[in-house]
Amino acid sequence: MQLFINQLLEDIKADYKRWSPPRFMDGTTNTVRQEMIDEFCARVRVTEGKKYYKVIQGTSVWGFIVKEDSGKFRKGDILKAAGWNAPATNSARGNIIDGGYSIQWTGPMYLR
């Protein structure tokens, strides 16, 4: 499971790098951009709870990952955060084990 979690974290970081502008309006370039990317990447982490892994970026919850099959969710399902301590349990946004999930650095994508 750790391999899949690490891949998700790398995907989050890669999306931030794609989003981050190469040049700012004031002409500031790579140095500031790289510092922002480094700070963002250093602050992405995972904590383990009883039922979920919590993905945190800085002081915000990015989302949750289901630890074991239970009810309507499968192991590896990605859930949006409903708050700091709980996921939104309406529907999974993808699965880290199956791959092919749709995420952004800001969080799992909304349901379509």
Give the Cα separation of 87 and 101 in Å (integer): 17
62-79 pLDDT tens trace = 999 999 999 999 999 999
Return the number of other C-beta atoms located less than 10 Å from residue 98's C-beta.
11
3-class DSSP state of 73: strand
- Token pair 């970081």 in the structure block, residue: 13
Print burial letters for 54-65: b (CB count within 10 Å at least 16), e (below 16).
Answer: bbbbeeebbbbb
- pTM (two decimals): 0.90
One-letter identity of residue 70: S
Task: Give the pLDDT confidence of 1-32 residue by residue, as tens digits.
Answer: 999 999 999 999 999 999 987 666 666 667 77
